[in-house]
Structure 1
Amino acid sequence: MSVCLFNSPPTLSLPTPAKRTLNSILDTSNNWTRKTLLGGAITGALSINLLLSSPSLLALESPSPSLEHSQSTEYLCREEETQQDFKVESEAPQVVTNEGIVEEAWEIVNDSFLDSGRRRWTPQSWQQKKEDILSGSIQSRAKAHDIIRRMLASLGDPYTRFLSPAEFSKMGRYDVSGIGINLREIPDENGEVKLKVLGLLLDGPAYSAGVRQGDELLSVNGEDVKGKSAFEVSSLLQGPNETFVTIKVKHGNCGPVHSIEVQRQLVARTPVSYRLEQIENSTASVGYIRLREFNALARKDLVIAMKRLQDRGASYFILDLRDNLGGLVQAGIEISKLFLNEGEKVIYTAGRDPQYQNTIVADSAPLVKAPVIVLVNNKTASASEIVASALHDNCRAVLVGERTFGKGLIQSVFELHDGSGVVVTVGKYVTPNHMDINGNGIEPDYQNFPGWSDVKKHLSECNINRQG
């Protein structure tokens, strides 16, 4: 799982140079980088959306090919290792030069940046920029950060930007697990998928309890996680703030195995509010749900709201996404699936990196089948547009309000080795009906609130035309 949609720092001994990424949507990376997909429009300290990835995630990440290789050679399978106590070795602090920080940021863009149509980026021009920038010494860290800001600004992408260490640390609220880890699904040589910890919040709950980057997650509160997705397992890890969860991890590729108790530290607040309303001149009721952002709690709390409203007799649903600028892309994807039939398309993603070239489909029956109205306006953006287009294009909902914002780009958040970070556009998403959202937005079916008979007729005709 890599989800998308914005998060916080990882750690551990990584091959040098190495990049660390945020806790959000959970992705891997190119060469020696780690990414986090975040979804959402830029707002406040969070100038992106994570996907997540992971979220997502907002989320963290780290090296891919080099990490896997180093693990296969570093951890030798010896029976006596399984009996040893888990010990964390102290690490010598790495010396991070000003030139190294600038080159690290340059490399992230070189590996992953997707030009969203402004045609300002080419491999040749980017290589020349590196040679020009690093031709002399950089005297201070402030100067290095200023160079990175100007370097990213030259791309002409409003969502690709620099994060100071203080700004980067604020993204911890997008931790999708609640214990400060990012999980990634990694296939082994036999084709079986393992869940690896490929990102850790520095000094977060899991790190403090002894979890380390590269560990394989085996179980959560005694439940085997084999065959589960990273997003599913992140949901298992979540729980009330300051409660404990017991996880079993395997250190390295072949042991030892440890059972570790971790105290949850959720920072995210519920973005969901809901109520049941009686339809005028009718015995039917409508369940109204307001979703303010796509954070770590969005899907779980939305499910609770929908089930309670159904139990109380809701025959119709209103999902209010007005002024919702986005958040974790993966949360948007998983929420879309709650309304769709198995096999129906949620979204297409595209990017330079093959990991962003995907067709995402629903994988189970819908939670509700009742007609839905989705309320949108010009501040409905990113992950919100994923949900709106998925429900609209699959004839599950009508859209009411104003044309949406039109942010169809995916950002990843990367931590640099001095605690600062960069937000980089790495992909874009396209609706199930193959419409490019970015810069266009989504036109609603109605500007004013329709009658429910009109909604049912519209959805019926939509399904007939779709099948025909």
Structure 2
Amino acid sequence: MRVVFCYNCSIPRGITTDFISSHICPKFISFNSEPRFSKHLSLKWPQRVLLHALTGALSFGLLVSAPFSSATESSSLQIPSPPSSEYCREEEQDQTAETAPDLVTNESIVEEAWEIVNDSFLDAGKHRWSPERWMQKREDVINSSIQTRSKAHDIIRRMLASLGDPYTRFISPSQGDEILSVNGVDVRGKSAFEVSSILQGPNETFVTIEVKHGNCGPIQLIEVRRQLVARSPVFYRLEEMENGIGSVGYLHLKEFNALARKDLVIAMKRLQDVGASNFILDLRDNLGGLVQVGIEVAKLFLNEGETVIYTVGRDPQFQKSIIADSAPMVTTPVIVLVNHNTASASEIVATALHDNCRAVLVGERTFGKGLIQSVFELHDGSGVVVTVGKYVTPNRMDINGNGIEPDFRSIPAWDEITKHLSQCHLQRQG
């Protein structure tokens, strides 16, 4: 299993499990993207893989220093790397065919990166990419001799920069650690789900992880205490409205973490028990989080068979529709509060309810963040993060860069909400 560092983030670096999946980390990967699952996280080319965060709300408390340290809950023991016939890949080392004929060449590494973009990259609206222009880029680099691996990586960086997409970028081999075993169980070649089942366990228990730092670094045994770190993002109360709505359940959802759906369901049931028949869902200043959780939250308000969101991309695997598969918890109209900081998963929820005529949007235009990135590993242990898709609302509106315009600037009278949603249904039927 590969572990990719997240730089310049508000989370501990060195973990791709719940830390990354439950926080926003723009320098690593755009977490407005829907999580993508892979079968194998230990690769041999030509397999391509998205490094996906494991599910759950478990913190392993790992921090990064030099080269890898743990939080106060964990202890580590550095052990020497065992002798290995595997080639130690360093960027500065020359890897020409003459010195390493059985290894991947520098030219082929560049071509691999080129091919990934050629097959999967989705222009996010900069209009700087075209098949013809990208083919010329290949001709420019493939016909030249690349003497060192570091030169190959520099070429890849420049190629990706030419796309004009801030999310598509290169990851060097030194930015990834490899988990070799968990509690003595060899996990090399295992899927993310298999590793997750071994890593997770009761709160306050310990797990021992064997980690190899980079391609050429030392191996450490790290004992880490499991801790639950997710906090409830839901605040709720019963309100009496002055505009004829009556008793309303107010739900403020601060982020989409692992507890969001469960706690929202609890809050909605409690509010219904004390008389709430209508709901206000406050998504203001909610920057997103786990997109899959956002999708599950949206389903709580939709009828079975209604569309939550569409994903589109050049690769067929990123072209699909996500459909509600159960009856809604509430059938009465919903007011969704939004502002300029309503982003990513929040926009998916807001547009799902809006476009299916289940809610009116009140407030300000939303942020407009709806891209999907995948991380592909190259044969030498480096990788490329590539924008591969985007989210489109049930009404086929592109979220990214546009945002969603609200129906009202302030909460309207109840009869006005009813009239607006009735017109929405008529337009859908027509």
Q: Quote the offset at 1:358 in angstroms.
A: 0.9
Residues 16-415 of structure 1: pairs in structure 2 closer than 5 A: 44-49=26-31, 51-54=33-36, 61=41, 93-96=86-89, 98=91, 99=106, 102-133=110-141, 135-137=144-146, 139=148, 141=150, 145-163=153-171, 202-203=178-179, 209-211=185-187, 213=189, 241-242=203-204, 265=226, 269-270=230-231, 272-280=233-241, 284-292=247-255, 294-415=256-377
Residues 169-200 of structure 1: CA deviation (Å, up to 9, x unaligned):
6xxxxxxxxxxxxxxxxxxxxxxxxxxxxxxx
Distance 1:460 1:239 in 2: 49
Find the residue that maps to 1:326 and give its secondary structure: coil
Structure 2: 5+ residue runs without aligned partners? 5-14, 49-81, 92-105, 208-223
Counterpart CA distance in 1 for 2:146 and 2:183 is 36
What does the per-residue CA deviation read over 1:7-40, in whole Å, with 9 as the maximum and x for residues that have no partner? 9638xxxxxxxxxx9669xxxxxxxxxxx9x999
Q: Distance in 2 between matches of 1:66 and 1:419?
A: 12
The one-letter amino acid paired with 1:449 is: I
Amino acid paired to 1:96: R
Q: Verify the 8 A CA contact 2:22 2:258 in the aligned structure 1.
A: no
Partner residue in 2 for 1:428: 390
1:123–1:378: structure 2 CA closer, same or farther, 3 Å change rule? same
Once the 2 structures are TM-superposed, how far is the Cα of residue 290 of structure 1 from its aligned partner?
A: 2.0
Instruction: Give the whole-Å Cα distance in 2 for the aligned partners of 1:61 and 1:214.
Output: 7
- In the superposition, relative to structure 1, how do residues 64 and 418 fare at CA in structure 2: closer, same or farther (>3 Å)? closer
More displaced 10-residue stretch of structure 1: 388-397 or 269-278: 269-278
Q: Partners of 1:354 and 1:136 in 2: how far apart?
A: 34
**Deviation of 1:374 (Å):** 1.5
Question: What is the Cα deviation at residue 109 of structure 1?
Answer: 1.7
Q: Is the 8 A contact 2:171 2:383 kept in 1?
A: yes
| CA separation of 1:323 and 1:419: change in aligned 2, threshold 3 A | farther
Quote how far apart the aligned CAs of 1:341 are.
Answer: 0.7
Contact 1:22 1:415 (8 Å CA) reproduced: no
Q: Secondary structure at the match of 1:109?
A: helix
C-alpha distance after superposition, 1:243-295 (max 9, x if no partner) = 699xxxxxxxxxxxxxxxxx995676336131213214586142322232x34
Structure showing greater radius of gyration is 2
Residue pair 1:349, 1:429 contacting (<8 A) in 2 also? yes
TM, length-normalised to structure 1? 0.61
Number of residues of Structure 1 aligned to a counterpart in Structure 2: 351
Specify the SS of the correspondent of 2:357: coil
Residue in structure 1 matched with residue 55 of structure 2 by the alignment: none
| 2-structure distance, mates of 1:267, 1:420 | 32
Question: CA separation of 1:119/1:284 partners in 2, compared to 1, >3 Å: closer, same or farther?
Answer: closer
Check 1:105–1:308 CA distance in 2 against 1; reply closer, same or farther (3 A cut).
farther
Partners of 1:448 and 1:204 in 2: how far apart?
A: 55
8 Å CA contact 2:355, 2:395 repeated in 1: yes
1:192-246 deviation per Cα after TM superposition (whole angstroms, max 9, x unaligned): xxxxxxxxx943986864455456979xxxxxxxxxxxxxxx99x988645699x
* Deviation at residue 342 of structure 1 after TM alignment: 0.5
For the 8 Å contact 2:302–2:324, the answer to whether it is kept is yes
> CA 1:266 to 1:431, structure 2 compared with 1: closer, same or farther past 3 Å?
farther
Question: Cα deviation per residue 1:101-136 (whole Å; 9 max; x = unaligned)?
Answer: 545433432331112343432344334434534523
Conserved in 2, the CA contact under 8 Å of 1:96 and 1:417? no
Partner residue in 1 for 2:404? 442
Task: Tell me if structure 2 keeps the 8 A contact 1:375–1:399.
Answer: yes
Q: Over aligned residues, Cα RMSD in angstroms?
A: 4.4
2:42, 2:137 → 1: CA distance?
A: 25
Secondary structure (helix, strand or coil) at the match of 1:274 reads strand
- Whether the 8 Å CA contact 2:41–2:189 is kept in 1: the answer is no
Query: Could you tell me whether the CA contact under 8 Å between 2:180 and 2:188 is conserved in 1?
Result: no
Q: Report the Cα distance in structure 2 between the residues aligned to 1:133 and 1:268, rounded to whole angstroms.
A: 47
Residue 334 of structure 1, CA deviation:
2.2
**Take 1:215 and 1:266, find their aligned partners in 2: how far apart are those partners?**
23
Instruction: Provide the TM-score with structure 2 as the length reference.
Output: 0.66
CA contact (8 A) 2:288 2:345 kept: yes
CA distance in 2, matches of 1:283, 1:383: 29
Q: Percent identity?
A: 59
Residue 408 of structure 1 deviates from its aligned partner by: 3.1
- Aligned residue for 1:9? 3
Label 1:156 to 1:162 Cα distance change in 2 as closer, same or farther (>3 A): same
Q: Is the 8 A contact 2:279 2:334 kept in 1?
A: yes
- Residue 32 of structure 2 contacts residue 371 of structure 2 at CA under 8 Å; is this kept in 1? no
